[in-house]
Chain A
Amino acid sequence: MMDALSYLFASWLQPELLALTAVGTAAGIYIGAIPGLSVTMAVSILISFTFGWEVNHALALMNGIFMGGVYGGSRTAILLNIPGAPAAIATALDGYPMAKKGEAGNAIGLSTVMSFFGGFVGIIVLAAGAPVVSEFAILFQPRDYMLLAVMGILLVGSLSGESLAKGIFAGAFGMLLGTVGLDPMTAEQRFTFGSVELMNGISPVALMIGLFGVSEALLQLHNLHLAAVKQKVDKIIPSFSDLKKYLPLSLQTSAIGVIIGALPGTGGDIAALMAYDHAKRVTQNPEVPFGQGAKEGLVAPESANNAAVGGAYIPMLTLGIPGDAVTAVIIGALFIHGLNPGPLLLIEKPDMFWFTVGNLTLANILLLVFGLTGIKVFTKIIECPKGVLFPLILLLSVVGAYSINNSLSDVWWMLGFGVLGYFMKLYGYQVGPVVLGIILSRLMDDNWRRAIISEQESLPAFFYGMITSPLSAVLFLAIVLILLSQTPVWRAIKMHASPRLGRG
C-alpha cells in the first residue's frame, strides 16, 4: 500500500516529472484550443520524439496533453464558435451564444471548473474501477478479446463516420496494415512483396503522424483565410452559487462521460454529445433556452468530455484495448517502451498504474490553475496565423517520422498515409478506425488463432462457445446491436418512436 502511495505521488514530488506534466497540460490547452491542431496529432508526433525517454517521463507529457487538450477545445468553441477539438462540438452550441452576450469570461470559467470536476470523477473511477476490471479481465478468453476488439473498431467507425460501410472499411484496412511483415507465430511473410524493409511491418507511428498530422494540415489549407471574431473576456472565476447549482448536473454527466469513455472505441466527443442530450432532457425550465446560451448546455458536455479521459484509460490499461483515438496512440507509445497493456499490467507493473492515476490527478489540478489564468496571453496565441502553423506542423511531422528509425523510409510511409488520409477525409471516411485497426490487429489475429485452435479448427464449435459463454454472448450481442442500430430499418423505428430527438 505504501508503495502504491509513493508511486501515486511520484510525479508530484519529482521536479522533472512535475515540470513535464505542467508543460504537457499547458501545451494541451493551447493545442486543443487552436483549431487545426488536435490532441491526437500532438501525441502522435510526440511519440517519435519521446522514444529515448523513460516511460514515466513520456507518460507525464502525454497525460498532460490529453487532459489539457480535451478541455482546451472548449476555449475556441466559446470564443470563436469553432470547436478546437471534436470533444468540444457540443460546447459550442451554448458556449458561443453566451460569449455573444458578453459572458465569455463567465463561460470559460464555468467550463474550466466543470472540466475539473469531470476529470476528477473520471480519475476516481479509473483508480477504483481498473483493478476490478483487471481481475475480471483474467477470465477473458481469447475469443472475448477478439470480440472486444471488433466492438471497439465498430464503435469508432459507426458513431463518428458518415456511413457504417466506410467505418468498417477503414477498420478492416487498419487491421490488414497491421498484419504486414513477418507473422509472429509462423514467421511466414505477409504482404512483404519481397522487400526486406516491409518484413518489420509498417510503423504505426508513421501511420498515425500521416493520418492525424499531415492529412489534417493539408485539409485545413482549404479554409486558410477565415477571419476570426474577437470576444471580450472578463471575470473568469465563476460564482459559488453557479457552481452549487450545476454540481448535480455535472456529476450526472460525468458519470455518462466515464461510461462512454470506458467503452472501447468511444471517446470524449460522443460522451459530450450524449451529456448535452441528457442535460436537455433533465432540465425542465432552463433560465435561458438551450442553444441560446444555457449554462446547463455548457456544464454537461464539459464535465463529460473530461470525465471520459479517465474512463478511456480503463480498457487501455486493463485490456490493452484503446478507449479512443488518443489512447490508441498512447498504447502505441507503451508498446514502444516495451510495456504490454493488458490484464497482467496491473499485477506486473502496479507502479505504472498508480503513477498514471497520480499523474492524471496532477494534470487535472494544473488544468484548473492554467484554465483560470493567462486568458490574455491565450487570446493572442490563438491568433497565430495558419500560414505559419501548418508549415510548422508539417516540419515536426517529417522530423518526427524521420526520428523513429533515423531513416527516410518512415517519412515516405508517413507522407503516403498523409495523402491517403487527406482523400479519405475528403470523401467521408474516418481515419480513426484505421489507427485503432493497426493497433488492435495483432491482438485480433493472435486471439482469433488461439480461439480457433482451442476449438480444433471447428467453426461450429467456435460459434457454439460464443453463445454459451455468458461473457462472449454479451459481447456478441453488443456487436449485433451496434450493427443493427446502423441499419435503415432501425433508424426509421427510432425516428418514429422519438421524433423530437433527431441527431446527436
Chain B
Amino acid sequence: MQAHTNRRPGEIAFNAALFGFSLFMFWQAYQISGFSALSSAGAFPMAMSAIMIIASAVVLFRSLKLASPGGGWSGFRSEVLPPAVLVFSLFILAYSITLKSLGFLLASFLFLLVSIWYLERGRIGRTLLLTVASITGVYVIFRVVFQVVLPEGIIPERAILAALGDFFAGSK
C-alpha cells in the first residue's frame, strides 16, 4: 500500500465508526468486571478496547488532516462501492439466505448462473456450461471425495446418490 495525501471517499466516516465502536466495546468490557482486579475476566478486554480507542483516535485525527477527496457521491460510488461490488454482494446475500431451503445444488446453480452471467456478460449458453461444469466439479470434490455435509434442500441428492450406488453395485 502506498502512503496517500488525499483521503479516500468515506474514509472519515469509516474511521469515526471504528472509533465509536471502540468506545462502545470499552464500555461493554467495563461491564464485565469493572476495575476489580488486574487478573479479572474484564481486564484484558478492557486493555484491548482501550488500545483500540487510542489507535482509532490517532487514525481518525490523521484522516481529518488529509485533503478532501472531492468527487462527492459519484467518487464514493466509483472508488468505494462500484456497482459490480454492490450487485454481487446482493447475489451472495441471496445465495446465503436460500442455501438451506433450496439446498446446495439448486441454490449454487442459481447463484453461479446469475453471477457469472452478470460479471462476464457473456452468452447464456456459455454461462450455463461453465455453471454446470463448476458445480459438478465442486460437488464431486467436496461432497463425494471430501464427504462434506452440504445442505440438501429440495433435491433429494442423497437418495439419488444411494440409488446410483445401488445401481453400480448391482451391475457388478
Contacts and interface: CB of A to CB of B under 8 A. Distances in A.
A15 B134 CA distance: 27
Contacts of A224: 84, 119
B44 A444 contact: yes
A342 to B, nearest CB: 19
A286 interface: no
Interface in A376-430: 385-388, 390-392, 394-396, 398-399, 402-403, 406, 408, 411-412, 415, 419, 422-423, 426-428
B11 A190 contact: no
Contact of A427 (B14, B29, B88, B120): B14
Contacts of A390: 88, 115, 119
A470 B32 CA distance: 35
A411 B52 contact: no
A179 interface: yes
A399 B104 contact: yes
Given A183-B41, A224-B84, A390-B119, A191 B142 contact: no
A496 interface: no
A238 to B, nearest CB: 34
A171 B51 CA distance: 10
Contacts of A135: none
A395 B150 contact: no
Interface string A138-178: 00000000000000000000000111011011001101100
A165 B62 contact: yes
A445 interface: yes
A232 to B, nearest CB: 28
Nearest to A50: B146
Interface string B47-61: 011011001101100
Contacts of B82: 221-222
B37 A188 contact: no
Nearest to B15: A427
Interface in B138-156: 138, 142, 146-151
Contacts of A406: 149, 151
Interface stretch (A63-71, A253-261, A317-325, A451-459): A451-459
A52 B121 CA distance: 39
Contacts, number: 173
A206 B93 CA distance: 16
A459 B38 CA distance: 9
Contacts of B122: 387
- Secondary structure at the A interface, as helix, strand, loop or mixed, is helix
B112 A391 contact: yes
A247 interface: no
A161 B59 CA distance: 13
Interface in B107-148: 108, 111-112, 115-116, 118-122, 130, 134, 138, 142, 146-148
Nearest to B108: A395
A9 interface: no
Contacts of A183: 41
A337 interface: no
Contacts of B52: 169, 172-173, 176
B8 A392 contact: no
A: interface residue count bin: 35 or more
A396 B44 contact: no
A218 interface: yes
B96 A388 contact: no
Given A218-B89, A395-B138, A403-B150, A448 B44 contact: yes
A185 B85 contact: no
A278 interface: no
Interface string B36-76: 01111111110011011001101100100000000000000
Contacts of A173: 48, 52
A392 B148 CA distance: 17
A280 interface: no
Given A165-B62, A169-B51, 14 more contacts: A168-B55, A186-B41, A188-B41, A221-B88, A221-B119, A222-B82, A224-B84, A387-B121, A388-B116, A398-B92, A398-B95, A399-B108, A408-B99, A452-B39
10 contacts: A52-B148, A191-B45, A222-B82, A391-B91, A395-B112, A406-B151, A427-B10, A448-B43, A449-B43, A449-B44
The 7 closest A-B pairs by CB, nearest first: A387-B119, A387-B120, A169-B55, A183-B41, A391-B115, A172-B51, A165-B58
Interface of B: 1, 3-4, 8, 10-11, 14-15, 18, 22, 25, 28-29, 32-33, 37-45, 48-49, 51-52, 55-56, 58-59, 62, 80, 82, 84-85, 88-89, 91-93, 95-96, 99-100, 104, 108, 111-112, 115-116, 118-122, 130, 134, 138, 142, 146-151
